[in-house]
């Protein structure tokens, strides 16, 4: 039987659509972050996200897809798919077996792109653009590709252990959060951090960015079903539900603790919910999604509070939202997974072993991503230098790194 007969057109339509949805999340993230920094640095933040699209789109095609998905060992894939050799219209026998393999590949490319973009929020407003480019390529190659292989590739050691990660809570959010944590310790704080107020320059951009992220996340989670059917529909439903629950939770917490509901906080809350539901989206039902969303709102709010109290500089709270949100999501998957939804039971449905498995995945990913990121940053610090000079930071990265202004008023 020709492999082409295995293609299901509804699945192809959905996975290609989902790939486009996830693509828009990177510019969406760019504006989500861009609106939060000071006006003199907005172009540099936007540019970080766009540069990643330029770099990783090519990295994935040349070697990323191969290292993540080509048959290899438990730790990393092989070189069989370098330059997408053999990756074409014919479906894979292992991954997304009802769509052309290059459709699966391009869908995964969008995940590989957005993950380093998340980290950019941690060291916004102080990293040199050339160091950033080298960092991105090293990180994608040595952190993202291996972890993606561990969790999603056939033969990957975490997948073989039974770790559940439907759409990337571990592969995307924990790795980014751990990298952000490493950045907090490896990179100096922004000049004036703690003593001067660094006000968001454009909260409407943050809101618009949140909207694009929420919209795109339907492709991120529901597309991870890799088929157009009940699993995708479930993921879509729980994604929306968790985002709403988390946004509401953060809003109410800000109202209670600060006296007024925070607009920026509600946005962060919704994103935290989307992060947390990501690994669980194929395995839990809508009521669990509400619990997961509330948990995300609570834990991520507290994480941001903690980071603030410790006076650590994670410019845009990547650790608090993605690191902690992704960790909660991975653990929650082990608690709320329901075989009726996704084929595996978690703690609440009589299978406590799944929770243990999830914890192993969480711990291994934190340890690896944190350590590798720290090492990469330190090496770059010694060779290229990480941060801009004080005068460049004063004048702003838009002018000093790019020679352009965001808003030229004649």
Partner 1 sequence: MKKIEAIIRTEKLNDVKTALATKGHLGLTTYEVKGRGRQKGIVLQWRGVKEYRVDVLSKTKIELVVDDEDAPEVVDIIREKAATGKVGDGKIFILPVEDVIRIRTGERGKDAV
C-beta closer to partner 1: residue 353 or 395: 395
Helix, strand, coil % (nearest 5) of the chain? Answer: 70, 0, 30
Least Å distance, CB 312 to partner 1, is: 21
Return the CA Rg of the chain: 20
What H or E segment, with its residue span, contains residue 203? helix 203-222
Least Å distance, CB 200 to partner 1, is: 17
Q: Is 405 in the site for partner 1 (CB under 8 A)?
A: yes
Residues paired with 127 in a beta bridge: 387
Q: Is 6 in the site for partner 1 (CB under 8 A)?
A: no
Could you give the CA distance from residue 332 to residue 325 in angstroms, rounded to a whole number? 10
x-marked contacts with partner 1 along 111-130 as a string, rule CB under 8 A: --------------------
Q: Is 54 in the site for partner 1 (CB under 8 A)?
A: no
Tokens of 72: 């290899």
- Specify the stretch interacting with partner 1 by CB under 8 A; choose among 52-60, 318-326, 344-352, 392-400: 392-400
Measured CA distances, 20 to 13, 107, 161, 215, 304 (Å): 11, 8, 31, 11, 31
Could you give the CA distance from residue 141 to residue 135 in angstroms, rounded to a whole number? 10
Could you give the CA distance from residue 170 to residue 85 in angstroms, rounded to a whole number? 28
Could you give the CA distance from residue 203 to residue 32 in angstroms, rounded to a whole number? 9
Binders in 148-207 for partner 1, by CB under 8 A: 192, 196
Least Å distance, CB 155 to partner 1, is: 44
C-beta closer to partner 1: residue 54 or 62: 54
Binders in 284-323 for partner 1, by CB under 8 A: none
Q: Is 404 in the site for partner 1 (CB under 8 A)?
A: yes
Could you give the CA distance from residue 42 to residue 209 in angstroms, rounded to a whole number? 13
Least Å distance, CB 392 to partner 1, is: 11
- Specify the stretch interacting with partner 1 by CB under 8 A; choose among 52-60, 70-78, 165-173, 397-405: 397-405
Those residues with Cβ within 8 angstroms of residue 278's Cβ, 6 or more apart along the chain or in another chain: 166, 167, 168, 169, 172, 173, 217, 220, 221, 326, 329
Least Å distance, CB 402 to partner 1, is: 8
C-beta closer to partner 1: residue 97 or 191: 191
Least Å distance, CB 48 to partner 1, is: 17
Could you give the CA distance from residue 72 to residue 150 in angstroms, rounded to a whole number? 11
The answer to whether the CB of 275 falls within 8 A of the CB of 325 is: yes
Residue 120 is given by DSSP the state: T
Spatial CA neighbour of 125 closest among 383, 406, 394 = 394
Q: Is 403 in the site for partner 1 (CB under 8 A)?
A: yes
Least Å distance, CB 336 to partner 1, is: 48
Binding-site size, partner 1 (CB under 8 A): 10
Binds partner 1 (CB under 8 A): choice among 20, 51, 161, 399:
399
The dihedral sign for the CA sequence 392, 398, 403, 406: negative
Q: Is 395 in the site for partner 1 (CB under 8 A)?
A: yes
Least Å distance, CB 193 to partner 1, is: 13
Rounded to whole angstroms, the maximal C-alpha distance in the chain is: 69
C-beta closer to partner 1: residue 259 or 403: 403
- Specify the stretch interacting with partner 1 by CB under 8 A; choose among 231-239, 281-289, 307-315, 402-410: 402-410
Could you give the CA distance from residue 304 to residue 324 in angstroms, rounded to a whole number? 10
Least Å distance, CB 49 to partner 1, is: 18
x-marked contacts with partner 1 along 227-256 as a string, rule CB under 8 A: ------------------------------
Residues paired with 387 in a beta bridge: 127
C-beta closer to partner 1: residue 306 or 395: 395
Tokens of 203: 């909260």
| Residue with tokens 């290292």, as numbered in its chain | 67
Least Å distance, CB 36 to partner 1, is: 19
Residues of this chain that interact with partner 1 (CB under 8 A) are: 192, 196, 391, 394-395, 399, 402-405
């Amino acid at each position: 039987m020709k492999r082409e007969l295995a293609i299901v057109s509804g699945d192809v339509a959905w996975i290609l659509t989902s790939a486009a949805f996830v693509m828009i999340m990177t510019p969406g993230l760019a504006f989500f972050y861009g609106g939060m920094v000071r006006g003199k640095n907005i172009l540099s933040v936007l540019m970080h996200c766009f540069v990643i699209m330029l770099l990783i789109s090519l990295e994935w095609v040349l070697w990323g897809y191969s290292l993540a998905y080509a048959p290899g060992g438990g730790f990393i894939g092989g070189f069989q798919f370098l330059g997408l050799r053999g990756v074409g219209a014919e479906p894979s026998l292992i991954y997304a077996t009802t769509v052309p393999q290059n459709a699966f590949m391009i869908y995964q490319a969008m995940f590989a792109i957005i993950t380093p973009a998340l980290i950019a929020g941690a060291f916004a407003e102080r990293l040199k653009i050339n160091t950033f480019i080298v960092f991105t390529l090293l990180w994608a190659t040595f952190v993202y590709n291996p972890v993606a292989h561990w969790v999603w590739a056939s033969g990957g050691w975490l997948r073989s252990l039974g770790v559940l990660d439907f759409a990337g809570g571990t592969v995307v959010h924990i790795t980014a959060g751990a990298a952000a944590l490493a950045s907090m310790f490896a990179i100096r704080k922004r000049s004036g951090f703690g003593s001067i107020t660094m006000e968001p320059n454009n909260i409407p951009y943050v809101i618009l960015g949140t909207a694009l992220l929420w919209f795109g996340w339907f492709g991120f989670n529901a597309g991870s079903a890799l088929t157009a059917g009940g699993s995708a529909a479930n993921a879509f439903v729980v994604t929306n539900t968790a985002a709403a629950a988390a946004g509401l939770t953060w809003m109410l917490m800000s109202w209670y603790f600060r006296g007024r509901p925070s607009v920026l906080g509600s946005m962060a809350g919704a994103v935290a919910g989307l992060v947390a539901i990501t690994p669980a989206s194929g395995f839990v039902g809508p009521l669990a999604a509400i619990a997961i969303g509330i948990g995300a709102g609570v834990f991520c709010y507290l994480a941001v509070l903690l980071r603030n109290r410790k006076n650590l500089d994670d410019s845009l709270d990547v650790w608090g939202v993605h690191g902690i949100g992704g960790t909660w999501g991975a653990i929650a998957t082990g608690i709320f997974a329901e075989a009726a939804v996704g084929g595996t039971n978690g703690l609440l449905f009589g299978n406590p072993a799944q929770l243990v498995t999830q914890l192993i995945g969480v711990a291994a990913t934190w340890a690896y991503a944190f350590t590798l990121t720290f090492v990469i940053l330190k090496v770059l610090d010694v060779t290229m230098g990480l941060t801009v000079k004080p005068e460049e930071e004063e004048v702003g990265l838009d002018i000093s790194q790019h020679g352009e202004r965001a808003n030229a008023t004649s």
